[in-house]
């Protein structure tokens, strides 16, 4: 049991070190030797868990996907409207990105040309599926205009979300993400949500940003 626990801790340390380096320097610029040094493990320990650098990238993307699915499921069970659940999901992901290098590295890997294995959905495909489902629910709840093109709206929203994070990564500290995300939602809500229902969701985005800025 103790040996298994040590193995799990070593694997987690390797993933955390790889995520940190992938996020800061990019996938191509990070070597296995860099990861070994950063994780403070031996090469043998790394190769025991991962045969190649690509396997590490896939492990990070799988962790990111699992965390996203768990977050969506938790919010689905809390009785929020579909649109509120979607907004809360995006802020939840932003919070993780501020606190944890794994989600940040997952985004960089997804935009950096790393091949995604067949058994793992591409992060953007997963985001599109979740967003489309939430927007369809919001349409049924009359929280978005009935003439909205759901496919176009989902694509635009995911592109805005990803673009906000990618551009921000190059120009601003990661702690600026909540403000940019709130700005994005203020624009999206004004374009999609009927006037009588806008105040609720504009206030929600503002409140979630404020909650993230509090220590």
Residue 198 lies in a domain: yes
Q: How far apart are CA 201 and CA 206, in angstroms?
A: 9
Domain hosting 178: range is: 57-213
What's the domain count of the chain? 1
Q: Is pLDDT above 70 for 122?
A: yes
Cβ atoms of 59 and 46 closer than 8 Å: no
How many of the other CB atoms lie within 10 Å of CB of 18? 29
Q: Give the confidence band of 118 by pLDDT, cuts at 50, 70, 90.
A: confident
Assess if residue 18 is contained within a domain: no
Place of tokens 């790393």: 114
Query: Burial level of 136, CB count in 10 A (0-12/13-18/19+)?
Result: middle
Residue 17 inside a domain? The answer is no
Q: What is the 3-state secondary structure (H, E, C) of the chain?
A: CHHHHHHHHHHHHHHHHHHHHHHHHCCCCCCHHHHHHHHCCCHHHHHHHCCCHHHHHHHHHHHHHHHHHHHHHHHHCCCCCHHHHHHHHHHHHHHHHHHCHHHHHHHHHHCCCCCCCCCCCCHHHHHHHHHHHHHHHHHHCCCCCCCCCHHHHHHHHHHHHHHHHHHHHHHCCHHHHHHHHHHHHHHHHHHHCCHHHHHHHHHHHHHHHHHHHCC
Residue 123 inside a domain? The answer is yes
Identify the top-confidence range among 8-17, 81-90, 164-173: 81-90
Q: What is the pLDDT of residues 190-207, one digit of tens each?
A: 999 999 999 999 999 999
Per-residue tokens: 5: 């626990």
pLDDT value at 74 more than 60: yes
Q: At residue 140, does pLDDT exceed 90?
A: yes
Whether residue 45 lies inside any domain: the answer is no
Average pLDDT over residues 88-98: 89
Least reliable range by pLDDT among 99-103, 147-151, 189-193: 99-103
User: Do 135 and 161 contact (CB within 8 A), yes or no?
Assistant: no
Q: Is the pLDDT of residue 212 over 60?
A: yes
183-190: long-range contacts, CB 8 A cutoff, minimum separation 24: 184/160, 185/87, 185/90, 187/160, 188/157, 188/160
37 lies in a domain?
no
Q: Is residue 76 part of a domain?
A: yes
The answer to the question of residue 172 being in a domain is yes
**pLDDT for position 174:** 78
CATH number, domain of 77, equals: 1.10.357.10
Over the stretch 160-190, which tens digit does the pLDDT of each residue have?
988 888 887 778 887 888 899 999 999 999 9
Give the phi and the psi of residue 13 in degrees, each rounded to 5: -65, -40
């Amino acid at each position: 049991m103790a040996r298994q626990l040590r193995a799990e801790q070593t694997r987690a340390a390797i993933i955390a070190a790889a995520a940190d380096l992938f996020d800061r320097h990019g996938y191509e610029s990070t070597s296995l030797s860099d990861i070994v040094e950063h994780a403070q493990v031996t090469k043998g320990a790394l190769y025991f868990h991962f045969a190649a650098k690509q396997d590490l990238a896939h492990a990070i993307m799988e962790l990111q996907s699992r965390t996203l699915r768990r977050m969506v499921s938790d919010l689905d069970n809390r009785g929020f409207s579909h649109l509120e659940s979607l907004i809360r999901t995006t802020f939840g992901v932003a919070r993780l990105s501020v606190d944890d290098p794994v989600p940040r590295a997952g985004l960089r890997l997804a935009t950096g040309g790393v091949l995604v294995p067949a058994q793992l959905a591409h992060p953007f495909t997963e985001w599109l599926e979740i967003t489309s489902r939430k927007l369809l629910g919001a349409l049924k709840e009359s929280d978005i205009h009935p003439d909205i093109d759901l496919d176009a709206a989902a694509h635009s929203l995911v592109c805005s979300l990803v673009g906000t994070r990618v551009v921000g990564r190059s120009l601003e500290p990661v702690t600026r993400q909540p403000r940019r995300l709130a700005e994005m939602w203020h624009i999206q809500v004004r374009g999609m949500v009927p006037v009588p229902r806008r105040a609720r969701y504009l206030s929600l985005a503002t409140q979630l940003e404020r909650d993230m800025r509090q220590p």
